[in-house]
Amino acid sequence: MNPRHDALVAIKDAFAMMQGASTGFLARVERELALSSPHVAVLEAVKAGATKVGDVAGITRTHVSSASRTVDALVEDGLLLREQDPSDRRAVILSLTPTGEQRMARFDELQIELMDAALHSLDGDALGVFAQRMSDFGLGVVEAVAQQSATT
For residues 144 and 139, give the distance between their C-alpha atoms in angstroms, rounded to a whole number: 9
What is the average pLDDT across 17-38?
A: 94
Is pLDDT of 152 > 80? no
Q: Read off the pLDDT band of 62 (50, 70, 90).
A: very high
Is pLDDT of 90 > 90? no
Query: CB-based burial of residue 124 (10 Å sphere; 0-12 exposed, 13-18 middle, 19+ buried)?
Result: exposed
Output 50-58 pairs: Cβ under 8 A, ≥24 positions apart.
50/94, 51/93, 51/94, 51/95, 52/91, 52/92, 52/93, 52/94, 53/92, 53/94, 56/94
Is pLDDT of 150 > 90? no
pLDDT one-digit tens code per residue, 110-139: 999 999 999 999 998 999 999 999 999 999
Q: CA quadruple 48, 49, 54, 58: dihedral positive or negative?
A: negative
**Whether the Cβ atoms of residue 53 and residue 94 lie closer than 8 Å to each other:** yes
**Whether the Cβ atoms of residue 93 and residue 51 lie closer than 8 Å to each other:** yes
- Residue 66: per-residue pLDDT: 97
